[in-house]
Structure 1
Amino acid sequence: MSPKNILLYCLIFTGLFQSCGTDVQEKKPYNILFIAIDDLRPELGIYGNEIIKTPNLDAIGNSGTIFENHYVQVPTCGASRCSILTGMLPSSRAHLKNSAIEKMMADVPEGERPESFVHHLKRNGYYTVGIGKISHSIEGLVYGYEESPEGAKAEMPYSWDEMLFDAGKWGNGWNAFFGYADGSNRQGKKKQVKPYEAGDVSDEGYPDGLSTQLAIKKLRELADKEEPFFMGLGLFKPHLPFTSPKKYWDLYDRDEIPLSGSPDIPENIDLSSLQRNGEFNQYALGEEKASLEQPLSDEYARKLRHAYYAAVSYSDALVGKVMQELDELGLSDNTIVVVWGDHGWHLGDQRVWGKHTIFETALRSPLIIKVPGQEARRISSEMPVSSIDLYPTLMELTDIPTNFPLDGQSLMPLIKEGKDESREALAFSYFNNGISMRTDKYRLMKYFREETPKIELYDHVNDPLETKNIAAEQPELVEQLLVQLEKGDTGLYSKKNN
């Protein structure tokens, strides 16, 4: 090759090579976009729902890894988020409450161990931005639903370079979280509100639309930064109240929306295994009150399901706007995208309207991880995974070491190969004085209470809707599963002074 051609060759490949030798420039670490969607059941097209309209979330799944059976560790917002952020199973009753992150992090001096995976990323060169609801508090500040955020302390004081929220006409985060299209909120109305609304407004007429605008604006700024970024975007919907712009209600024919396939109390259980719809019934102007003694009418149940579907489609549309901006900025090829639902939600299943049980419906939620360059995969229901697995997964993807223990196990073998011989098919969850263990075929529940039965067993091969507790019929199987359940018993129900 002539000297002239060598010079031309070097000029063409400037930016790919550090010199005309063989040393390739170090690749910029992956960016991470973490999308947390509140109260999202696996009611998406890619999870088999043929009626709901979720094209944008489906598109992420179709180019990423879909975990069919992903389980949260606690079926309530703050505690579930505590587990995923710390990569740890709950080990005290304080870890089962919405205040879990506040108690663990807000007043704790910065230590050698990072308070969250966001903090660990920040310590290792990531610029971290949170928008909306990532932990439990909306602005990342600790204050009560009816209090002012002025002077409030940070919920995760060491994790964020920036924590952003636009409260718009609602004034503050909690007002926005429980807000309606006219700027009112559940607190201000003294709970004299409906649990749903079809607002004649644009996407920006509800708080999640404003959060999406913030995310798009911030992505444009982050695109020019030298360091990699972590952005967390926490969307409120479909959390109660089921509010969304009317155009998303108009996507559906209500008569085509199915009712629950398991509307009755499961056989052979005590009612203490369920919950009495307290959160749902706070919306005092609802047409009917939910109870375990009497199901809602089919007409009202279908209306509520319609409202939930519309709220999911609203969040889906907002996710689509963010993903489009990621593409237009040229960030998609180097950005990991994680979509996570913080827990499931009973839509009349087992006669419950809400979360707060350790049944499948309250614990199973979507988890989708899209890694640039990785083949699209679907991890079947034969391999349950847990929210605590995300922390070690992100650290492996970013080559950031952890010199402290985590309860989760990296999902990278599943993402890369579709299998992991070292992984047990077990997922553990906790609430309501009980431990719930999901295997590939069964769900076993062990309750620490006076009411009997204290053991429940559900056969997911023959009874995927958990309609009958068969523990008394399968004593040998129960004994075998109880041995496995011990692996998830962190002692939280036996520790004194929890």
Structure 2
Amino acid sequence: MKSKVEKGVFVLIIMMYASVMIAKHPAEKAPNVLLIMVDDMNDWVGAFGGHPQAITPHMDALAEKSVLFSKAYCSAPLCNPSRTSMLTGYLPSTTQVFGNSEHFRELEGFENTVTLPQYFHANGYKTAASGKIFHSPRGPAKVPKPQSDPGSFEQERRGGLGATYPDQADRFQHGINFDILPPSSHLRKSFDWLGVEVPDEQTQDWQSAEYAAQFLKESHDKPFFLACGIFRPHLPWYAPQQYFDLYDVDQIELPKILATDLDDVGSIGSKIAQKELHDELVRTGNWQAAVSAYLANLSYADACVGHLLDALQASDYLDNTIVVVMGDHGWHLGEKSHWSKNTLWEESAKTPLLIYDPRQKGEAAVCERVVSLIDIYPTLVELCGLPTKSDLDGQSIAPLLKKPNLTWERPALTSKDKKMHSLRSERYRYIVYPDGFEELYDHEVDPMEWNNIASDKKNIKVLANFRKELSAQIKP
């Protein structure tokens, strides 16, 4: 069996041949790609209906002419493994990248991995990026600058972590006792929110969007693959004050929760949930304020996305550019008594996905089939007519752009660790933990995943099918 290194060399040879073939054709015949990734964005975007008060007019407007995937799921509920899997086309269970400290190029067999932008470059595309696309691992990885995989993009504006921070004296003034959290919890240093009196143009996410917008104003002699990463609504929730002013904290609707929701999730699930922080937010009367802050930062992120989409609208490339807007995973705001990501439940695994293909002539549709972010790589390859890359773990969802109701029965795999996985089908969510404990939720009657029915004997066949599917999707 060939190693990933050997496969990488073979793929590069094929790509060099393919790039020569593409070069023979006029650049205008090949569609461009604009990929926009929004960090920690759950389904509260207005068009996705996750929260009734969300104000996201720009992404909503794009949804009106796109295919909206209402059941899109990440391969991992954390930044680095999610982005690594989407951009390499390999599942976390393939690369063994499950956390934020690993870098795939330092792992044996993946040193020469051909990433999504590299594949497009080898096939005749100009590649550029701004903001957070790749996650920069901490720890042993030796990546020289933030948010990059050196060599994946020809030009890149690195960095840009959200908006301007307030003065130090104004931070962490909500009366929250963080001593309730483990010393290692990242929330101790990042769980804060505040509106900052600063114009959009001076914020880092806006500047990331502006860099990409300027790229669209230039003349390009080749088709391009342009990626833009927006950091908010990632913590801390600092954003221009005008977006906080959009929401009346006292009128904010809170997520529906069940007080006994963690009673049937097992010991590992109970430990994963940040119940202590949730109880502290309730005790200090900060739950509505925190939800309002997330919504404010989401609205700010939407404005940055809108700035870039406006630039595309005014450019010469509007009619020949495929647009993909997506999150990297979801986020809990009290559901399952949890705050943050990195769980295998619906709120953390689900994220918005919009795909606009101008060749569809603005025919909007909602696709309710279950898809995964691992499918983005092969989908864009197919949509742009590039040679098929056969070693990818995902499958192209391009057929769903033409027929959103097409039969599609492949459950989406989300992994948190080597023996901690979740599968989502159209009806059920299945979770298994390292100790063998299982969860099963029937979304037809339990969309909030309040009732774990794994112990019900009526579901023996359902569980057996999920166990078989999990074995099939996780490669040795």
Letter in structure 2 aligned against 1:161? E
Change in Cα spacing, 1:277 to 1:200, as seen in structure 2 (3 Å) is farther
TM-superposition CA deviations, 1:389-443 (whole Å, max 9, x none): 111110111111124322212111110122333x314111111542111111111
Q: CA deviation at 1:269?
A: 1.9
> Is 1:471 aligned to residue 454 of structure 2?
yes
1:362 corresponds to which of 336, 348, 369: 348
Where in structure 2 are the equivalents of 1:62-461 lying within 5 Å?
Answer: 62-91=64-93, 94-100=96-102, 102-104=103-105, 111=112, 114-137=113-136, 155-165=148-158, 176=161, 180-182=165-167, 195-221=192-218, 224-264=219-259, 265-276=261-272, 290=277, 296-297=282-283, 299-374=285-360, 375-381=362-368, 383-421=369-407, 423-431=408-416, 433-449=419-435, 454-461=437-444
CA contact (8 A) 1:442 1:459 kept: yes
Q: Which residue of 1 aligns with 2:33?
A: 32
2:462 corresponds to which of 458, 477, 480: 480
Q: CA deviation at 1:349?
A: 0.6
Q: CA deviation at 1:104?
A: 3.1
Gaps of 5+ in 1: 1-23, 168-172, 282-288
C-alpha distance in 1 between matches for 2:104 and 2:163: 23
Q: Which residue of 2 aligns with 1:58?
A: 60
Aligned partner of residue 93 in structure 2, secondary structure: coil
Aligned partner of residue 92 in structure 2, secondary structure: coil
Change in Cα spacing, 1:277 to 1:462, as seen in structure 2 (3 Å) is closer
C-alpha distance in 2 between matches for 1:109 and 1:429: 21
Letter in structure 2 aligned against 1:160? F
TM-superposition CA deviations, 1:296-331 (whole Å, max 9, x none): 248311100000000000011111111111111122
CA contact (8 A) 2:126 2:224 kept: yes
Letter in structure 2 aligned against 1:322? L
CA contact (8 A) 2:40 2:233 kept: yes
Aligned partner of residue 239 in structure 2, secondary structure: strand
Structure 1 or 2, whichever has the larger Rg, is 1
Change in Cα spacing, 1:479 to 1:251, as seen in structure 2 (3 Å) is same
Change in Cα spacing, 1:26 to 1:155, as seen in structure 2 (3 Å) is closer
Calculate the TM-score normalised by the size of structure 2.
0.82
Letter in structure 2 aligned against 1:424? E
C-alpha distance in 1 between matches for 2:359 and 2:473: 41
C-alpha distance in 2 between matches for 1:204 and 1:178: 10
CA contact (8 A) 1:426 1:439 kept: yes
Aligned partner of residue 445 in structure 2, secondary structure: coil
Aligned partner of residue 129 in structure 2, secondary structure: strand
Q: CA deviation at 1:69?
A: 0.5
Change in Cα spacing, 1:95 to 1:431, as seen in structure 2 (3 Å) is same
C-alpha distance in 2 between matches for 1:31 and 1:41: 27
Q: CA deviation at 1:258?
A: 1.1
Q: CA deviation at 1:447?
A: 1.5
Aligned partner of residue 377 in structure 2, secondary structure: helix
C-alpha distance in 1 between matches for 2:311 and 2:249: 33
The Cα RMSD (Å) is: 3.2
Q: Which residue of 2 aligns with 1:16?
A: none
TM-superposition CA deviations, 1:122-168 (whole Å, max 9, x none): 1001111111110102xxxx6669x998x559952332101213x6x
Q: CA deviation at 1:91?
A: 1.9
TM-superposition CA deviations, 1:44-76 (whole Å, max 9, x none): 111124311101000111111000010001000
Letter in structure 2 aligned against 1:33? L
- Identify the structure with the greater helix proportion: 2
Calculate the TM-score normalised by the size of structure 1.
0.79
CA contact (8 A) 1:266 1:466 kept: no
Change in Cα spacing, 1:183 to 1:232, as seen in structure 2 (3 Å) is farther
Letter in structure 2 aligned against 1:248? Y
User: Structure 1 stretch 205-214 or stretch 76-85: which is displaced more?
Assistant: 205-214
CA contact (8 A) 2:164 2:239 kept: no
**Identity fraction in percent:** 33
Q: CA deviation at 1:478?
A: 3.7
Q: CA deviation at 1:82?
A: 1.0
In the alignment of these two chains, the number of paired residues is: 433
Q: CA deviation at 1:212?
A: 1.8
Change in Cα spacing, 1:99 to 1:449, as seen in structure 2 (3 Å) is same
Letter in structure 1 aligned against 2:465? V
